[in-house]
């Protein structure tokens, strides 16, 4: 307990899945949490769950594809809590499996706007807020990538590209911000049992979602899909002072898939 005592965390996409589990875990470890999501119902519910356990939390409705809303998200966090120590750029969108010959410009723009631009501008506005809050003591930025950034997946070209770019962005910023003691790391989960998973099915799929889940789990040496809490535990470590000498990493959470 108290691994994040006195710290303020801003987590995007915290209305469900990885983000919700991380927000609840961070709060249990002493953090105040700003929850950003486009899903008002899910985001408000996460904030309510945290508040019901006596921790501080706010919900900020944010469309990450609009940089002005990302800026406002960071500003509201600072206005409410007077500081920012941890930024977890978790939010992302999935991609229906689509052969390269059928990719559309709209599909490209939607996925890149959230998965890459949202992370980029989260860092653009979050890093100065962390630096201002900590007077040289630094902080932590965590970016959500994917195993799709590290291993090719057929029919997921744009998604893989967006997550690969997040890893490259993470490494660049880790070097850029190291002198300010702001750590920047990426998490790369394997297929996980979250609300996003069904959205990877191809349009008009003849295979059932249950069959897809079983096939994905069969490829993982530990024999199961990832769980949101698996990723949340790594995010907690990266958010805490225990990881003060780790930066520029893209860390798999994959049950041995990348071994």
DSSP states of 44-101: HHHHHHHHHTT--EEEEE--TTSHHHHHHHHHHHHHHHS---EEEE----------GG
Catalytic residue among 108, 125, 159, 257: 159
Contact partners, residue 165, CB within 8 Å, separation at least 6: 116
Q: How many CB atoms lie within 10 A of CB 147?
A: 22
To the query of whether residue 125 is one of the catalytic residues in this protein, the response is no
Q: Say which residue the tokens 């799929």 belong to.
A: 205
- Cross-strand partners of 141: 87, 184
Long-range contacts (CB closer than 8 Å, 24 or more residues apart) made by 105-108? 107/158, 108/158
Separation between Cα atoms, residue 222 and residue 257, nearest integer Å? 8
**Cα 221 to Cα 254: distance, rounded to the nearest angstrom:** 9
CA atoms within 13 A on the CB side of 9: 37
What is the SS3 assignment for 12-47? ECCCCHHHHHHHHHHHHCCCEEEEEECCHHHHHHHH
Instruction: Using DSSP, state whether 143 is helix, strand or coil.
Output: strand
Token pair in block for residue 186: 């990426």
Residues designated as active site: 159
């Amino acid at each position: 307990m108290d691994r994040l005592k006195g710290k303020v965390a801003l987590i995007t996409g915290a209305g469900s899945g990885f983000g919700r589990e991380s927000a609840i875990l961070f709060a249990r470890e002493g953090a105040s949490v700003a929850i950003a999501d486009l899903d008002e119902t899910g985001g408000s519910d996460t904030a309510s769950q945290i508040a019901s356990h006596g921790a501080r939390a706010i919900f900020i409705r944010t469309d990450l594809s609009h940089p002005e809303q990302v800026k406002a998200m960071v500003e509201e966090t600072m206005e409410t809590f007077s500081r920012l120590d941890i930024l977890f750029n978790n939010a992302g969108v999935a991609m229906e499996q689509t052969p390269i010959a059928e990719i559309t410009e709209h599909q490209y723009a939607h996925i890149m706007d959230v998965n890459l631009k949202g992370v980029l501008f989260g860092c653009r506005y979050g890093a100065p807020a962390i630096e201002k809050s900590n007077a040289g003591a630094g902080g932590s930025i965590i970016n959500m990538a994917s195993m799709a950034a590290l291993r090719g997946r057929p029919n997921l070209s744009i998604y893989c590209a967006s997550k690969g770019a997040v890893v490259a962005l993470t490494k660049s910023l880790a070097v850029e911000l190291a002198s300010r003691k702001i750590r920047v790391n990426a998490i790369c989960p394997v297929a996980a049992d979250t609300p996003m998973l069904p959205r990877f099915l191809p349009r008009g799929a003849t295979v059932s979602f249950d069959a897809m889940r079983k096939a994905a789990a069969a490829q993982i040496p530990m024999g199961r899909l990832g769980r949101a809490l698996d990723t949340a535990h790594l995010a907690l470590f990266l958010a805490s002072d225990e990881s003060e000498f780790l930066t520029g990493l893209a860390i798999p959470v994959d049950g041995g898939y990348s071994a």
